[in-house]
A and B are shown apart, each in its own frame.
Chain A
Amino acid sequence: MSKKMHVKLNVNGEDHEFLAEPRELLIYALREKLNITGPHVGCETSHCGACTVTMNGKSVKSCTVFVAQANETEITTIEGIGTPDNLHVLQEAFKEHHGLQCGFCTPGMITRASKLLEENPNPTEEEVRFGIAGNICRCTGYQNIVKSVLSAAAEINATKEAAQ
């Protein structure tokens, strides 16, 4: 075993410190060390996006990030996107429009979509499809996922307009 290093992560606003081998992958550190099991392992070669988290403001596939690289970063997972009492609009929209079936891709999908909407609050259908193309879903055929994301965008925009 190579020597363990001291790792500091801020996950969903909470600081964590632990020892880890540098080669440990961020996804396993989150899931197994911190018991944050929302992000999943799907393909392990950065193709499927089930492990997507936001790291320092970027959507990343946490199966392809060493925990050493992630040291001292801020991470948001599905668990940090909404709370049971205050769901994110996307979480509501996915439920409303049947944007999920087995649920395995959903945490990564919603986490990615949340970043997409931050960067592009008013996407076209084509932009949504392009923007979530790093996330594979085997169940839904994407039609209702796209619908969910578009409806969430509309709702966010409507809320913003109402506030102005």
Chain B
Amino acid sequence: MKDEVTREDRVANLKGMGCSRKRVEDARFTQGKGNYVDDVKLPGMLHGDFVRSPYAHARIKSINIDAAMALPGVTAVLTAKDLEPLGLHWMPTLAGDKQMVLADGKVLFQGQEVAFVVAADRYVAADAVELVEVEYEELEVLVDPFKALQSDVSLREDTLDADGKAADGAHGPRKHPNHIFKWEAGDEAATDQVMDSAEVVATEEMYYHRTHPCPLETCGSVASMDKVNGKLTLWGTFQAPHVVRTVASLLSGIEEHNIRVIAPDIGGGFGNKVGVYPGYICSIVASIVTGLPVKWVEDRMENLMSTAFARDYWMKGKISATKDGKITGLHCHVTADHGAFDACADPTKFPAGFMNICTGSYDIPVAYLGVDGVYTNKAPGGVSYRCSFRVTEAVYFIERMIEVLAIKLNMDPAELRSKNFIKKDQFPYQAALGWEYDSGDYQTAWDKALEAVDYKGLRAEQAQRVEDFKAGKTRKLMGIGLTFFTEIVGAGPVKNCDILGMGMFDSCEIRIHPTGSAVARLGTISQGQGHATTFAQILATEVGLPADSITIEEGDTDTAPYGLGTYGSRSTPVAGAATAMAGRKIRAKAQMIAAYLLEVHDDDVEFDVDRFVVKGAPERFKTMKEIAYAAYNQAIPGLEPGLEAVSYYDPPNMTYPFGAYVCVMDIDVDTGVPEIRRFYALDDCGTRINPMVIDGQIHGGLTEALAVALGQEIAYDDQGNVKTGTLMDFFLPTAWEVPNYETDFTVTPSPHHPIGAKGVGESPHVGGVPCFSNAVQDAFRPFGNTHTNMPHDHWRIWQTANDLGLHD
């Protein structure tokens, strides 16, 4: 036998798409050899630290840096005055607003950056921060967006016109000095008309509280200005390194080729590391001023108080239906608290992100969405915390409205969902608020989920529990949380998605080496998702070389092709597509080489796993390894030497992953303590690249959902003081509070994505939050509960029980 290696062996050897390849990143991480930004240590490096405002709203009367400068070891203390000549005391935000880098005359939130101390080490820097004397005059604090819209106090004088009226903003006219934008989608008149004549209308107001992505690694940067060569190198916690390079160039005037941005290993992002923060700018300026490398790494309190928060949406909903439960219309209005500066990280044309996916998985003929953004005395941000832009809010909204409608109709919420799903044959589906859903098979997924958990049995058990409770036999209620979600990820088509004018394509550059190994570089950056593992799997399948022979590199703008980074589950839908397309370019050239080597016509060879074979003569073949070698070592008529390809992929549409989740929860009515008995998560993320990694993403996303639903919040008092500034009060669950999850899947490939993949990292968070919340609320449904706001921590659950008279 010439060849005892079976085709199956050859497939397995590639470790391509569909297999649970072990992660190549893990060797360094398990041995403590990761390289995070705080591990960067350069000769002569100085440390930066911020003087921050203790007040939420105050005028700065004076700043005296003399005592700080007198401290041995202090190199510089920067204030807005020092940055102003460079035009760097303010910076543009991703949302078209601008933000103070250092307080320019006033402070607008507690923890705002006032001065930047640069010193020999972190200890001296911390001491010097204490020595900077800032005199404040306190101003009226606005923490409530509704009051802010009524107030005579203008938070942002810089946004007023000469008459003191609100000048137009980046997203059009503003109705009040503290108003940022009004954004609308759908048809309000038609929706109102449907509501007015509807058989049944359910309304609800809900607050999706402010929280924070809180990755375990805080944000930081190291800037090193090489004055000899005129080159700036910037290491940092950047989910979008190329965007940072462009912004840094536009701000500093340093040409882009003289800026090298490096995102090394990132200790979790979850949206927190998308934006540009004053610390990055200050470290750059300080390095330019001192001529030495400057490191800035925030501490946890700074991270929670000043870098980008998430959510803070006040949502008012109206949903109409026929008596038998067919939804006829949806109306949603959001008052969005954006804090002191509009620093949301959304595609520029979408100031409320993709909130207009709020019709969810349902065939709703008419809908309207209006969002009013508001300035308050809170930290800026509004990032997508483990979700595509505002999709968590949208899915929470619709999945709560469905429950509220089910109560109004006295209908089972699972049945109500079934009744209204977009049907399989309706895809591609044009939604009322503008999106074209690419694919889906919701009913199949839903039925599978309900059967897996024995939904009918659960409802029967719950009914018995209610009886027992009423009879005084138990003090625990049982809740069944349901969610069917549709995400919208993979931003996105350049025609409607850009950030500061840069189209949201992504990229991959592949170089096959002569001996059949390869390096591929992408415009994205992993923060734990395992790109080095999974993108190599895509390539392995596409080009027929083993994943183990393919190095994936990201995060260095000097080497990686331009891309918009990793957030909003866009890496697989966009950069993953670019990878597949670049791989196909390689394969196309390889086909020509193979045909030449086999002395047949190009069309007479076909790709088979790791080789090209002559059609009908499988014993005649050239492996990709042989072809790679020939590409570099043999003169092939009509072909350039080498085997390289680049793809910049502009996706034709978003992708729409979906899923069906069920949570079973027991709630102690007396203490308010919830206990998660079971959590079942079915995800359809299209083609599955690495099931092990997918499951890991789902476990993680669900745990972040649990945290948000059950206690995690950034809370302020009425003076704008942050009440949850450390991990004592900001809820991050430990292994003790987290259950084991059951995962499941269906596969509905994306029709427009080269490999049919849709993205998965954020689905569990998007679907998980309403599922946990619905479980809590469902437990109290038999006692008259319609809706209570998250987070469902012990006292709030207790309060719900108390309000329903369950403690009497």
Residue A118 at the chain B interface, CB threshold 8 Å: no
Do A140 and B32 form a contact, CB below 8 Å, given A95-B27, A135-B734? no
- Whether A145 pairs with B735 at a CB distance below 8 angstroms is yes
Contacts of A142 in B (CB 8 A): 699, 703, 734-735, 738
Q: Which of A32, A42, A50, A105 has the most CB of B within 10 A?
A: A42
Question: Which size bracket describes the interface of A in this complex?
Answer: 35 or more
Residue A87 at the chain B interface, CB threshold 8 Å: yes
CB nearest neighbor in B for A92: B30
Contacts of B696 in A (CB 8 A): 98, 101, 139-140, 144
Contacts of A24 in B (CB 8 A): 123
Residue B700 at the chain A interface, CB threshold 8 Å: yes
Do A48 and B692 form a contact, CB below 8 Å, given A23-B123, A104-B34, A140-B699? no
- Whether B727 pairs with A48 at a CB distance below 8 angstroms is yes
- Whether A139 pairs with B700 at a CB distance below 8 angstroms is yes
Q: How distant is A93 from chain B, measured CB to nearest CB, in Å?
A: 9
- Whether B31 pairs with A82 at a CB distance below 8 angstroms is yes
Residue A21 at the chain B interface, CB threshold 8 Å: yes
CB nearest neighbor in B for A2: B123
Q: How many A-B residue pairs have CB under 8 A?
A: 176
- Whether A77 pairs with B740 at a CB distance below 8 angstroms is no
Which one of A79, A95, A135, A143 lies within 8 Å of B32 (CB-CB)? A79
Residue A57 at the chain B interface, CB threshold 8 Å: no
Do A96 and B22 form a contact, CB below 8 Å, given A47-B726, A129-B735, A138-B270? yes
Contacts of A31 in B (CB 8 A): 38-39
Which one of A48, A82, A94 lies within 8 Å of B216 (CB-CB)? A48
- Whether B23 pairs with A95 at a CB distance below 8 angstroms is yes
**In the complex, A155 Cα to B496 Cα: how many Å?**
54
CB nearest neighbor in B for A32: B41
- Whether B736 pairs with A133 at a CB distance below 8 angstroms is yes
Chain B, range 629-654, C-beta contacts under 8 Å to A: none
Do A104 and B32 form a contact, CB below 8 Å, given A37-B39, A132-B735, A140-B696? no
Do A77 and B72 form a contact, CB below 8 Å, given A47-B727, A138-B704, A141-B700? no
Residue B597 at the chain A interface, CB threshold 8 Å: no
- Whether A45 pairs with B728 at a CB distance below 8 angstroms is yes
Residue B214 at the chain A interface, CB threshold 8 Å: yes
**In the complex, A42 Cα to B220 Cα: how many Å?**
12
- Whether A104 pairs with B692 at a CB distance below 8 angstroms is no
CB nearest neighbor in B for A94: B30
**In the complex, A44 Cα to B304 Cα: how many Å?**
13
Q: How distant is A83 from chain B, measured CB to nearest CB, in Å?
A: 8
Residue B741 at the chain A interface, CB threshold 8 Å: yes
Residue B751 at the chain A interface, CB threshold 8 Å: no
Chain B, range 9-45, C-beta contacts under 8 Å to A: 22-23, 25-34, 36, 38-39, 41
**In the complex, A78 Cα to B738 Cα: how many Å?**
25
Contacts of A47 in B (CB 8 A): 726-728, 732
Q: How distant is A156 from chain B, measured CB to nearest CB, in Å?
A: 16
Do A38 and B31 form a contact, CB below 8 Å, given A28-B122, A43-B726, A136-B216? yes
Contacts of B27 in A (CB 8 A): 84, 95
Contacts of B738 in A (CB 8 A): 141-143
**In the complex, A128 Cα to B740 Cα: how many Å?**
13
CB nearest neighbor in B for A47: B727
**In the complex, A142 Cα to B706 Cα: how many Å?**
13
**In the complex, A100 Cα to B696 Cα: how many Å?**
9
- Whether A102 pairs with B727 at a CB distance below 8 angstroms is no
Contacts of A96 in B (CB 8 A): 22
Residue A137 at the chain B interface, CB threshold 8 Å: yes
Contacts of A45 in B (CB 8 A): 300, 726-728
Do A44 and B299 form a contact, CB below 8 Å, given A102-B528, A103-B25, A104-B36? yes
Chain A 63-91: CB-based contact to B (< 8 A → 1; otherwise 0): 00000000000000111001010010001
Q: Which of B28, B32, B528 has the most CB of A within 10 A?
A: B32
**In the complex, A132 Cα to B31 Cα: how many Å?**
18
Which one of A41, A106, A146 lies within 8 Å of B38 (CB-CB)? A41
Contacts of A98 in B (CB 8 A): 22-23, 692-693, 695-696
- Whether A106 pairs with B30 at a CB distance below 8 angstroms is yes
Contacts of A42 in B (CB 8 A): 216-218, 300
Contacts of B26 in A (CB 8 A): 94-95, 100, 103
Contacts of A44 in B (CB 8 A): 299-300
**In the complex, A135 Cα to B41 Cα: how many Å?**
26
Which candidate, B261-269, B428-436, B437-445, is the interface stretch facing chain A? B261-269
Chain B, range 160-198, C-beta contacts under 8 Å to A: none
- Whether A133 pairs with B735 at a CB distance below 8 angstroms is yes
- Whether B34 pairs with A79 at a CB distance below 8 angstroms is no
Contacts of B72 in A (CB 8 A): 1
**In the complex, A134 Cα to B736 Cα: how many Å?**
10
Q: Which of B31, B528, B740 has the most CB of A within 10 A?
A: B31
**In the complex, A41 Cα to B701 Cα: how many Å?**
23
Contacts of A48 in B (CB 8 A): 216, 727, 732
CB nearest neighbor in B for A83: B31
Chain A, range 15-57, C-beta contacts under 8 Å to B: 21, 23-24, 28, 31-32, 35-45, 47-48, 50
Chain B 109-136: CB-based contact to A (< 8 A → 1; otherwise 0): 0000000000001111000000000000
**In the complex, A50 Cα to B268 Cα: how many Å?**
13
Do A128 and B735 form a contact, CB below 8 Å, given A45-B300, A101-B528? yes
Chain B 680-705: CB-based contact to A (< 8 A → 1; otherwise 0): 00000000000011011101111110
Do A138 and B700 form a contact, CB below 8 Å, given A1-B73, A98-B23? yes
CB nearest neighbor in A for B692: A98
Q: Which of A31, A87, A107 has the most CB of B within 10 A?
A: A107
Q: A1-B72, A103-B265 are in contact. List 10 more A-B contacts (CB 8 A).
A: A40-B36, A42-B217, A47-B732, A78-B31, A101-B529, A101-B697, A103-B267, A135-B735, A139-B696, A142-B703
Q: What are 17 inter-chain pairs, A to B, with CB distance below 8 A?
A: A37-B39, A38-B33, A40-B36, A40-B38, A42-B216, A78-B30, A82-B31, A91-B31, A98-B23, A100-B30, A101-B530, A103-B265, A136-B734, A139-B528, A140-B700, A141-B702, A142-B735
- Residue numbers of B with Cβ under 8 A of A are 22-23, 25-34, 36, 38-39, 41, 72-73, 121-124, 214-218, 265-268, 270, 297, 299-300, 527-530, 692-693, 695-697, 699-704, 726-728, 732, 734-736, 738, 740-741
Nearest 8 CB-CB pairings of A with B: A38-B32, A103-B29, A102-B528, A104-B267, A141-B699, A101-B528, A78-B32, A141-B703
